[in-house]
Chains A and B, each alone.
Chain A
Amino acid sequence: MTALPAVRVVLVCGGKGGVGKSTVAANLATAFAARGVRTGLLDADLQGPSLPVLFGVRERPAVRHGRIRPVVRGGVRLMSTGLLADASRALAWKGPVLRGALRQMVRDVDWGDVETLVVDTPPGTGEIHMALADLLDVAAAVVVTTRQRMALEDTRRCLAMLTRLGIAVPAVVENMAYFPCPCCGARTEPFPDSGLAGALLDETGGAGTRLVELPLLPAMASGAERGTPSAPLAGGADPAARAAFAALLDALDGAHRTAS
């Protein structure tokens, strides 16, 4: 039997490192919470945890009656290996320790009445993803990429893995798709549109997969640097980012309604 059977589990994946998975995962969880959904965020990037920085959290989680109490920020319950040791310690774990840490972070954490658990995954298609698929009944995945060919090649691998695991992908986020001019709003596209992202959706039979463009926003970047989890991370006052996350949530909710 899988852990947390009553919880909607959403993976945030991406084939390539640095495309913004953790930022999207943090925003997504915050956006769910802002909609009144009881939300948890599990940082499954066990060896490169980002959530402590993104949420400005330093405290080690408390233990009560043998169970870990997640740290709560912006209404989101957080768990990350980054909360267990500071960055001076390399978390150079191998297979069985990685699987064990993941099991404890799912099973031994008191997630309480969480309805949706967003899981930030490490880049690539590795052991952690397989372990997560074993451990949890994953409802859906969001795949994060940029327009760069380097990222898209690995995104294909990531989508292939999710297809093989039978995990629905309601949305692919094209992160840093454009930079809106703060004066006139004109779009500047830092990476050329090769059309590959669209082709990728066709290739994976993604009839139900939505391509969501997320702009490159200084407010979002500085929010992540400051560790402010709420409005700025969720798009703040920027209409484009707000619309992107609304579209992402709608895609996930739509897929969830269809599945159930």
Chain B
Amino acid sequence: MTVVTEEPRVEELLALYQQMALIRATEKAAYDLFMAGLVKGTTHLASGQEAVAVGASAALEPDDYVFATYRGHHHAIARGASPEACLAELMSRATGLCRAKGGSMHLTVADRNMLGSYAIVGAHLPIACGAAWSAKLRGTSQVAVAFFGDGATNIGAFHEALNLAAVWRLPVLFVCENNLYMEYTSIKTVTAVAQPAAGRAPAYQLPAEVIDGNDVVAVQQAVAAAAARARAGDGPTVIEALTYRQYGHSRSDPGKYRPQEEVDAWLKRDPLLVLAERLRDRGVEQPAIDQLDAQAREEVAAAAEAAKAAPPPGEDSAFTDVWADGGAQWRT
């Protein structure tokens, strides 16, 4: 198991930066492709929330389970999806992560146990409990992590999940990415407690922690500690990571409901800037950091081109994968 209590080595920090830069560049590409009319439907970008995915992933084992929301590109990439497969999915290409049958809101990397992005708010929390229950039944040391937004804390499934996880002492981590807004509405104005996730945990007698979700190291340490508790049989933990999305809620939202001073303050706390500062404190020169950004942009530019060049899915694939036999036959 991974328990991080000390400051990571510089090489580790550089690797974290690389992943965050890759996600940032992918989200930028997704935005540009959307504006160019190449992504249909909607996208919910995670720019600004990269540290939660990358920090958590760094604290997990490869076979741990991850469940994400419709704002989940960062979790798919953090668990090993390629930017090309993600962008191809967004652009409805046959080479998409889900063969263009899921779209932006359903990125899934099952062979890395990233078991889906869920677009019904809060639905995946009980599902993550089930994966944790399964690990417990099979006697493995796996944990399940459900990432969710602040808005999910006001839906029934959140409460059913926390209670069941507590009663069954499941190895599950509930990680709230509190970006302060449920869609277009300040979470404060619609929630009875100040901390939407951590403030509810005591009702279920679960340990909870509010952390700086824009500090990748803080996330890594909190998740590592919670995972260690879960693996030791000590049950679930609620982590509320304070963060901020740099775009609006979804493609059509310019985010005008957010005060400019608030936006500016959070942009200064951009998770990549926070980590860059930490790297500089450890002796890494800014040009080396810039180089990582440039590499990520290049990699993603190539990925976007490759994705664009891929063919659309064959129409016959609309009639596959309903059933386990691969088909869609419902009658004789």
Binding between chains A and B: no
| B interface residues, Cβ below 8 angstroms from A | none
| A interface residues, Cβ below 8 angstroms from B | none
